[in-house]
Amino acid sequence: TSPSGTEVKVPIKRTPPLEYPRRAMRMGVEGFVKVGFDISEGGRPLNIIVEESQPKRMFDKAATKLVKGIRFDIPEDNGEAVELTGVSMTISFAL
């Protein structure tokens, strides 16, 4: 959501490759991580937190690293660059 409270969709400009944790790969484990964050006026993720994950803590570090590397198009509200809050993304880990 933007500071004015409107919901804004922000396209992803660049996503780094997902690094599957070696331990999880060796064990044949799959799962997901739901990550919450804000997006700066420049399109960078801020205040990244893990909201939910299965299995617990197995993929948290890899998901957080992925989100840190994502670059979004500059978020705009009525033509002006704004910081967005309450963004959520689920990252799946599948072999």
Mean pLDDT across 32-52: 96
CA distance 46 to 53: 19
Helix runs in 2-86, H state only: 22-27, 60-69
More confident of the two residues 48 and 6: 48
How many C-beta neighbours within 10 Å does residue 33 have?
24
What is the pTM for the complete model shown? 0.87
Q: What confidence tier does 17 reach under pLDDT thresholds 50, 70, 90?
A: very high
- pLDDT at position 2, please? 67
23 contact partners, CB below 8 Å, separation of at least 6: 58
